[in-house]
Homo-oligomer: A and B are copies of this chain.
Amino acid sequence: MSLKKFFCPDSIAIVGAARREGKVGHTILDNIIDFGYKGKIFPINPKAEVIHGMKCYKSILNVPQDIDLAVIVIPSQYVAASIEECGKKNVKGAIIISAGFKETGIEGAKLESQVLETAKKYGIRILGPNCIGISNYSCRLNATFAIGDPVEGGIAFMSQSGALITAILDWATMQEIPISKYVSVGNKSDISEIDMFEFWSKDPKVEVISAYIEGINNGRKFIDMALKVTRKKPIVVIKSGDTSAGSKAVSSHTGTLAGSTKAYSAALKQSGVIRARTVRNLFDYSAAFAYQPLPKGRNIAIITNAGGPGIMATDACEENQINLVNLEEKTVNKLKKFLPAAANFHNPVDVLGDALADRYRKTLEIIFEDKNVDAILILLTPQAMTQILQTAEAIVGTIRDANRKIPVFACFMGGKTVKRGIDYLIHHRIPTYDIPEGAVGTLKVMINYNDWLNRKVDKVKIFDFDKKTVGSIFNSCRKEKRFELGENESRLVLEAYKIRVPRAVTAKDIGTAKEFTKKVGYPVVLKIDSPDILHKTDVGGIKVGIRNDSELEAGFNEIINSVKAKKPDANIRGISIQEMIMDKQETIIGINKDPQFGPVIMFGLGGIYVEILKDVSFRIAPITESDARDMIEEIKTIKLLKGARGAKPSDINSIVEILLKISQLVTDFPEIMEMDINPLFVKAEGLGSIAGDVRIRISQ
């Protein structure tokens, strides 16, 4: 069933409709009636004859007509039975307001499973339980017990916290934020953010999707959905429970397992979801998207009647990599013609403290025509002569009459004096902020979203690799109850996926060793090869930088002697001789498994960069080529790979290739729980990368 019947049902039954005021089952019925719902309403309550002058039914089964949506407000232990009746009545959607399910512990979780099973049997979709309901301006539906009504406008809001909805609606009303639909998803036993965002992506009345999320149940499905939706309209979310302390609070609160911070931020980033840090940001961003066109570039023009705020805005622009554009010469000339001599004709344009509305209007008109300008920020401080309301009117009028569509932001700084202007601007859909930094931060988010829309859309490439070999290696490991692969096995896995490893041979005698070095050249590394020796260094089992035949011979013998002395019982297979990779950057590619999102790929420079600076980037596998490039560009030490300090640029293309191969490997084999290529040696441009060492752990 589409969710349409939840938002625009023809008829609603309120199971647990209550006569007594103050009870939730009463408030919801009240809200539905008061907000002007046009469909049929059927109160259900075995103990009442009439509620609100409406006939009350003992059971939903007694209702003589079809019912689209049931709103259930009865104690948790009776809900499953009520869903059973809904099924029999052929109701296809139910909002379970009642609490007392998963969020209370094991017993509640059992009740929730029962409810869900019953619903599945009949094909009923469930919103909740433990939620405050659903509200939709276009159908005049307010099936919630929240205080606020939705209003006309382009923002849809979903919340995993019911309490937050009441707070946010209250705020939105005061700030005239156009939230026309809102949903509380509660425990998300069935309907989740995935359903909601998909549904809203198809609703032409929804311009922006916004949400408060504590956890996501099906990570990969979320990414795939979001990748599609964010191409059509922006999704702005607060994802809380982000830090480890926050996650603890989440689990004690909603029973959702909050995924690791890194996996969440990688997932949101790679699917184009915009992240808001606070409720204020959430609605600053959402309102701007709903109100204004997207900026086509990052060039801003600022108009101000005071220097100070102009400087603050300029500082904020620089921090956010937004350009204070050079105005066209003809723009400057036009400004010079009518602005007072003391004004600043360049960006930020200072119209001076005595500017009346008309001076603002003319300046704005001229700047609107400047083709260099992608966005305009208008600053105003209330000075002696400032015409607050008239300036607001002039701004709105100029934007309406302008030939070009570019986003305009306003910041009227002050309190009571400027309030009338602010109210007028908001009412006319001009995003308005109390501090310049708010406007600039929002513009930055819009620029990023515009970049996202212009980003290359590429699909995950599928290579044809030797899956069979890898599968049989894993199988034989598991048969032997080994879950950490041996060095040779790991090499074979990489080779099967066409990832280069250093050439190597295990030599039983010095002759074989010399044969190998004749082929691959010097320098080489020597390592003892013995299943009994885990820590090779401790027994003198490693020599690096062997430069010639005589060093090879000496090293070979020294290792054998040292190992025999320190570990006489060890079964020695021989000595592994590996080519030593020179002229390289050391990087690292890692994989770990996130409970919500599956395999997370990490990339960074090796050694101290990863260990101390933690300069790494993450994405959820599988990734596309663009994702891989983003990952590499994201690390702070990227300059080292691009050839800093006169060094040759490293072969970034080969890193991209290996990231994609690893992405496919861990997608093909979900049994890979952890994997580290450390170091991955990256040679100069064109010369490829080689996996110096690899460690793979598979599931039990």
Cα A276 to Cα B613 with chains together (Å): 27
- Is there contact, CB below 8 Å, between B324 and A245? yes
Cα A261 to Cα B442 with chains together (Å): 24
- Is there contact, CB below 8 Å, between B246 and A315? yes
Contact of A417 among B164, B170, B279, B416 (CB under 8 A): B170
Contact indicator per residue, chain A 238-257, by CB within 8 Å of chain B (1) or not (0): 10111111101110111000
- Is there contact, CB below 8 Å, between B414 and A170? yes
- Is there contact, CB below 8 Å, between A241 and B311? yes
- Is there contact, CB below 8 Å, between A318 and B246? yes
Contact of A383 among B166, B241, B437 (CB under 8 A): B166
Contact of A315 among B240, B307, B612 (CB under 8 A): B240
Total contacting residues, chain A, CB less than 8 A: 87
Contact indicator per residue, chain A 151-186, by CB within 8 Å of chain B (1) or not (0): 000000001111110111011111100000000000
A512 interface hit (Cβ, 8 Å): no
A381 interface hit (Cβ, 8 Å): yes
A547 interface hit (Cβ, 8 Å): no
Cα A506 to Cα B438 with chains together (Å): 63
> Are A104 and B253 also in contact (CB < 8 A) when A171-B413, A437-B278 are?
no
A611 interface hit (Cβ, 8 Å): yes
> Are A280 and B163 also in contact (CB < 8 A) when A171-B414, A608-B644, A612-B637 are?
no
A341 to chain B, nearest CB (A): 9
Query: Among A111-119, A342-350, A653-661, which stretch is in contact with chain B?
Result: A342-350
- Is there contact, CB below 8 Å, between A164 and B245? no
Q: Which residues does chain B contribute within 8 Å of A104, judged by CB atoms?
A: 342
Contact indicator per residue, chain A 405-418, by CB within 8 Å of chain B (1) or not (0): 00000000111111
Q: Which residues does chain B contribute within 8 Å of A135, judged by CB atoms?
A: none
- In the complex formed, the residue of B with least CB distance to A170 is B414
Q: Which residues does chain B contribute within 8 Å of A346, judged by CB atoms?
A: 252
A579 to chain B, nearest CB (A): 25
- In the complex formed, the residue of B with least CB distance to A411 is B167
Cα A246 to Cα B316 with chains together (Å): 8
A188 to chain B, nearest CB (A): 14
A263 to chain B, nearest CB (A): 16
A650 interface hit (Cβ, 8 Å): no
A204 interface hit (Cβ, 8 Å): no
- Is there contact, CB below 8 Å, between B310 and A249? yes
A478 to chain B, nearest CB (A): 34
- Is there contact, CB below 8 Å, between B246 and A314? yes
Q: Which residues does chain B contribute within 8 Å of A50, judged by CB atoms?
A: none
Cα A170 to Cα B238 with chains together (Å): 32
- Is there contact, CB below 8 Å, between A242 and B163? no
- Is there contact, CB below 8 Å, between A311 and B278? no
A306 interface hit (Cβ, 8 Å): yes
A640 to chain B, nearest CB (A): 6
Residues facing B in A600-632 (CB within 8 A) are 608, 611-613
> Are A161 and B307 also in contact (CB < 8 A) when A240-B312, A637-B613 are?
yes
- Is there contact, CB below 8 Å, between B318 and A243? yes
> Is chain A's binding surface mostly helix, strand, loop or mixed?
helix
Contact of A415 among B172, B311, B381 (CB under 8 A): B172
A299 to chain B, nearest CB (A): 13
- Is there contact, CB below 8 Å, between A314 and B415? no
- Is there contact, CB below 8 Å, between B414 and A611? no
Q: Which residues does chain B contribute within 8 Å of A243, judged by CB atoms?
A: 314-315, 318-319
Contact indicator per residue, chain A 435-477, by CB within 8 Å of chain B (1) or not (0): 1011000000000000000000000000000000000000000
- Is there contact, CB below 8 Å, between A384 and B311? no
A145 interface hit (Cβ, 8 Å): yes
- Is there contact, CB below 8 Å, between A164 and B381? yes
Residues facing B in A271-288 (CB within 8 A) are 277-280
Cα A319 to Cα B324 with chains together (Å): 31
Q: Which residues does chain B contribute within 8 Å of A168, judged by CB atoms?
A: 413-414
- Is there contact, CB below 8 Å, between B306 and A245? no
A212 interface hit (Cβ, 8 Å): yes
- In the complex formed, the residue of B with least CB distance to A318 is B243
- Is there contact, CB below 8 Å, between B640 and A161? no
A434 interface hit (Cβ, 8 Å): yes
- Is there contact, CB below 8 Å, between A644 and B611? yes
A159 to chain B, nearest CB (A): 7
Cα A245 to Cα B324 with chains together (Å): 8
A305 interface hit (Cβ, 8 Å): yes
30 interchain pairs (CB within 8 A)? Answer: A27-B384, A147-B417, A161-B306, A163-B307, A163-B353, A164-B309, A167-B306, A167-B413, A167-B414, A170-B382, A170-B415, A171-B413, A175-B415, A240-B312, A243-B315, A244-B318, A245-B314, A245-B315, A245-B317, A246-B315, A246-B318, A249-B314, A253-B308, A253-B310, A253-B311, A277-B437, A279-B435, A608-B640, A612-B639, A613-B613
Known: A174-B415, A241-B311, A246-B315. 7 other contacts (CB 8 A): A161-B309, A163-B306, A163-B381, A171-B413, A172-B415, A174-B419, A249-B314
Binding site for B on A (CB under 8 A): 22, 24, 27, 104, 145, 147, 159-164, 166-168, 170-175, 212, 214, 238, 240-246, 248-250, 252-254, 277-280, 305-312, 314-315, 317-319, 324, 342, 344, 346, 348, 350, 353, 381-385, 413-419, 434-435, 437-438, 608, 611-613, 636-637, 639-640, 644-645
